[in-house]
Amino acid sequence: PTCRWSACRCRRPTWAARTPSTRSCRCRPASRSRPWRSARPAPATRPGSRPGSSAWRTPGSPAATSRKGRRWPIARTPVLLTDGSFREGDRLLDLPVEEVSPLAGKLDAVGLFSLDALGARTFEAALRRGLDPWEWLRRLADATPSTPLQALVRGRTLLGDRTRADDVVELFVATAARAGVDVFRVFDPLNDVRNLEAAARAAKQAGKRVQGALCYAVSPAHDLDHWRAAAAAVAALDVDELVLMDTSGLLGPGAAAELVRALRETVRQPVVVHACCAGGMAPMAYLAAVQAGANGLDTAMSPLASGASAPATETVVAALAGGEHDTGLDLGRLTEVEHDLVELLARTSADGASPAGGLDADVLRHQLPAALLRDLSAQLDQHNAIARLGDALAEVPRVRGELGFPPLVAPVRQIVATQAVYNVLGGDRYATVSQELKDYLQGLYGSPPRPADAEVRRLVLGQDEPITIRPADLLEPQVEDAREQLRRRGVEPTDERVLSFLLFPTPALDLFLGGAKPARPEAAPAAGETAAAAPSPNGAGEAAAAPPPEAAPPAPQPVAAEFEVEVEGEVFHVRVAGAGVMVLPAAAGAGAPMATTAAGAPAPRRARDGAVTAPMQGLIVRVPVQVGDEVKLGDVVAVLEAMKMQNDIVATQPGKVVEVYVKEGDVVSPNQALVAVG
C-alpha cells in the first residue's frame, strides 16, 4: 500500500502497512504517532505538496522546528500589507500624474494587498492645488491594474467635516467605485455602527470590498467587553475585514496583542491593524499583533513613514521575512520604489525633512494624540495664551470624560480641544460653547461609549433632550439642492462636481470657475487665523520725516478682500473691506485720538460697559438680533465661526439690545464688543 495522505508522492511501503496502530507515514507524522526525536532529520518533502501552503521552510530554519524538537514543514500564514504612501504623501499631488504613474506601476508589481489612495487630506489637497481629485484617482487606477485601490471613508461625513444624508453617501460610494476604488474602509469617530450602514451597504451594492474599522481609544469606557461588542456590531454589517485603527500613536504591544486575540475570538473576519508612529510604539505593536493572529497591516514607504504616518513597508517586510508570517514581498523591488520616491520628493521639498514628522514624546507623556496637542497649541497661540497650555492639557481629560469618553478622532477631537480652551480662558466652564458641541450632545454625531454628563448637557442644551434615532434620519436629501446651487453659478452639475462641492465648497468652486480668488488665506486673515497688522509704508523701525499737521496725507482707500464662506451647507460670498487688526483704545485718557487700522479704517466704537464680546478671533456669520429687541439671559446674539466651528455668542444679562457693533461678514478680534444689552 502507498501513503494514505493523497497529496504525498511516497511510493514505498508505509509504517501504516506494517503497524496498523500507527496512522501516519514518514512524510507526515500524525498527532497520535510517536514524535520524531530531535536528532532525527526531517523527512524530505516536496515544496507545495501540502494543501493550503505555498512554500516550505528549509529544515534549518527556526520556523521548521517545533517546541518539542520535531522538524517538519509547517503552513505559512502570510501577512497582507496595505501601503498608504499615496494617502499619507499628499505632496505627491504636486507632481504631474505622468511622473507619479511609473512609481505607482512599480508598487503595483510588488504584490501588495491594496494601495490606500483616497482620504480627506488627499482629496482636499488636490482641490486646493487646482487639481481634479477624481481624475487623479482614475489615472492612478489605470497605473495599478493588479493592486486594488482603497478609500478611507469617515462614516457619514465621508471626507469632510459635516454629516451628510444617505443620498450623498450612496452617490459618493458609487462615484468612487466608478473612478477605480475597489476597497472601502469605513469608520465612525464614535464607533457608532449606525453611521456605517449606508456606506457599507452602498459598497456591497457596487460589488466592492468593505472593511469595517474600529477607532482605538484609551479610557475607562474602552475595556475588552466594549471592544468585543463593537467588533460584533461591525461584523454584522457583512464586512470583509475588521480593522483596528489607531491614529493616536497610543497603541502599545501589550494592548495590541490583547485586542487582536479578543477580536479574533469574537468575529470570523480577518483582522487588520493600522497604527500611527507618533508615539514610537507602532513597530512593536505590529509584531505583537502579528504574533497574536493579525492577518494584515497598514504601512507606508519609508520616505513617507514614521511620525504621524504608519511604519515603513520595507521594515515590516524585512522583519517578517523567513518566518511563519513572511509577507512574500520582494524587498529588492521595494528598495527600487523607495529610491524613486526619494527622488520625486526631493523635487518638492526644500529641507528634505520627513513629511510625516518625527517622534512626539508628549503623546506618551499626556496620553493624548499628537494631532490634539497641535490643535490645543494652535488655538492657545491665537489667543496669545500659549503659557496656559498646561491648564488646557489638564482640562482635556475632564471634558472628554464629561462627554462620554469619545475616541479622540477628527472631528470629535477638535470639539474636545476647542471646549477645553474655552473652559480655560473663559473662567466659567461651558459658558462659551460651539455649535458642534451642541450637536454632539444632541446625538447628531452618534452615541458615545458612555452617556454624557447630565449637568453638562443641561448647561449646554437646557431642556432639550438628545435624539435616540439614527442621526441621518433627520437630514433631508442634499444632492439635488447642491446641483441647483452649481447651476446658479453656471457650473455643469456632474456627479463628481456635486460631491466635490458638497465636501469642500470653496476650493471646489475655485476649480470649477477656473481661477484663484482675489484674496487667498495667506494674503488676508480668514476665520480662525491670526491677523497681522500691515507694515508701515516707511518700513518697520525706519525713521521718517513727519508731515506738517496742516498737511496730513489722505487716508488710503481700504482694500477689499473676498471670501467664500460655508454656513450650514450654503455658500455665501463675503466681501470684507479694510486690512489689519481693529484695535480698541486701551485705557486712553480724555481727548486721546481713536486708534485706526493700518489701512486707515476707524477702529470700532467704544463699547458700553457689560457689552457682549467675542471670545476669540473669527468671522461673524450671523447676527440674529437688532436694536430694540428684547433678549433673555442665554439668548444667542451672534454666531462666530472660528477653527471651522460655529460658536453661539449669548447674552450675559436680560434686557433690550441697545447697540449692535458688528454685521455679517465682519472679522473680529478677541474681546471685541459685538452687542450691547441694557
pLDDT tens digits along 298-353: 999 988 888 888 999 999 999 999 889 999 999 999 999 999 888 887 876 655 44
Cβ of 573: how many Cβ atoms within 10 Å? Answer: 11
Determine the Cα–Cα distance for residues 242 and 296; give it in Å rounded to an integer: 10
Instruction: Look at 160-164, 177-181, 286-290, 437-441 and tell me which has the smallest mean pLDDT.
Output: 160-164
Looking from the CA of 81 toward its CB, the CA atoms found within 13 Å total 29
Residues 341-372: pLDDT tens digits? 888 878 766 554 455 556 667 777 777 887 78
Q: Are strands 673-677 and 645-650 parallel, antiparallel or unpaired?
A: unpaired
In Å, how far from its chain's centre is CA 330? Answer: 31
- Mean local confidence (pLDDT), 150-176: 92
For the record, the C-alpha cell of 621 comes out as 456669520
- 602: region left, alpha or beta (phi > 0 left; psi from -120 to 50 alpha): beta
CA distances from 20 to 11, 23, 24, 488 (A): 18, 7, 10, 87
φ, ψ dihedrals at 386, nearest 5°: -65, -20
Is pLDDT above 70 for 471? yes
What is the reported pLDDT for 55?
35
Please tell me the least confidently modeled range out of 93-107, 165-179, 448-462.
93-107
**Dihedral pair phi/psi, residue 515, rounded to 5°:** 160, 160
**Comparing 571 with 47, which gets the higher pLDDT?**
571
Indicate if the pLDDT at residue 515 is higher than 70. no
Question: Which residues are registered as beta bridge partners of 602?
Answer: 596
Q: Please state, in angstroms and rounded to a whole number, the distance separating the CA atoms of residues 336 and 320.
A: 19
Unique residue bearing C-alpha cell 462641492: 501
Q: Is 291 exposed, middle or buried (0-12, 13-18, 19+ CB in 10 A)?
A: middle
- Which H/E stretch holds residue 7? none
- Determine what percent of the chain is predicted with pLDDT higher than 70: 71
8-state DSSP, 615 = S
User: 282-292 and 313-320 are packed helices; what angle lies between their axes, rounded to 10 degrees?
Assistant: 40
- pLDDT averaged over every residue in the chain: 77
Percent of the chain at pLDDT exceeding 90: 40
Is residue 400 within 8 Å of 219, Cβ to Cβ? yes
The domains found in the chain, sorted by start residue, are: 80-346 (3.20.20.70), 368-474 (1.10.472), 599-678 (2.40.50.100)
Comparing 364 with 123, the larger pLDDT belongs to 123
Give me the amino acid identity at 383.
H
Q: Model confidence at 596, in pLDDT bands (50, 70, 90)?
A: very low
Q: What does the pLDDT look like over 191-208, one tens digit per residue?
A: 999 999 999 999 999 999
Instruction: Tell me the CB-side half-sphere exposure of residue 620, using CA atoms within 13 A.
Output: 27
| pLDDT recorded at residue 640 | 83
CA 452 – CA 556 distance, rounded (Å): 53
In this prediction, residue 350 carries a pLDDT of: 52
Q: What does the pLDDT read at residue 519?
A: 36
SS3 28: strand
pLDDT average, residue stretch 478-483: 94
Is the pLDDT at 454 greater than 70? The verdict is: yes
What pLDDT shows up at residue 523?
A: 35
CA atoms within 13 A on the CB side of 246: 34
Q: How far apart are CA 440 and CA 437, in angstroms?
A: 5
Position with higher pLDDT, 246 vs 617: 246
Residue 611 in this model has a pLDDT that exceeds 90: no
**CA dist list (Å): 398 to 53, 419, 448:** 52, 11, 15
pLDDT at 141: 93
Name the residue with higher pLDDT: 67 or 124: 124
More confident residue, 425 or 641: 425
Query: Residue 49 corresponds to which amino acid?
Result: S
Helix segments in 75-131, DSSP class H = 85-88, 97-108, 120-128
Start-to-end CA distance of the chain, whole Å, equals 106
* Section 420-428 average pLDDT: 86
- pLDDT tier, 560 (very low <50, low <70, confident <90, very high otherwise): very low
More confident call, 666 vs 362: 666
Asked whether the beta carbons of 647 and 433 are under 8 A apart, the reply is yes
The three state secondary structure string of 393-435 is: HHHHHHHHHHCCCCCCCCCHHHHHHHHHHHHHHHCCCCCCCEH
Closest CA to 83 of 250, 326, 320, 302: 302
Which range, 84-93, 166-175, 363-372, 518-527, is most confident? 166-175
Confidence of residue 582 (pLDDT cuts 50, 70, 90): very low
591 vs 565 pLDDT, higher one: 565
Distances (CA, A) of 362 to 167, 216, 250, 358: 42, 18, 11, 12
Residue 194: DSSP 8-state: G
Q: With b meaning 16 or more CB within 10 Å and e meaning fewer, what string describes 34-70?
A: eebeeeeebbebeeebbeeeeebbeeeeebbbeeeeb
Q: What pLDDT sits at residue 87? A: 81
Q: What is the pLDDT of residues 29-62, one digit of tens each?
A: 443 333 333 343 443 433 333 333 333 333 333 4
Q: Is the model more confident about 665 or about 414?
A: 414
Burial class (CB in 10 A: 0-12, 13-18, 19+), 629: middle
Task: Flag whether pLDDT at 181 surpasses 90.
Answer: yes
Q: Is 217 left (phi over 0), alpha (psi -120 to 50) or beta?
A: beta
Report pLDDT digits (tens) over 236-280.
Answer: 999 999 999 998 889 999 999 999 999 999 999 999 999 998 888
DSSP annotation of 91 reads G
User: What local confidence, expressed as pLDDT, does residue 53 receive?
Assistant: 35
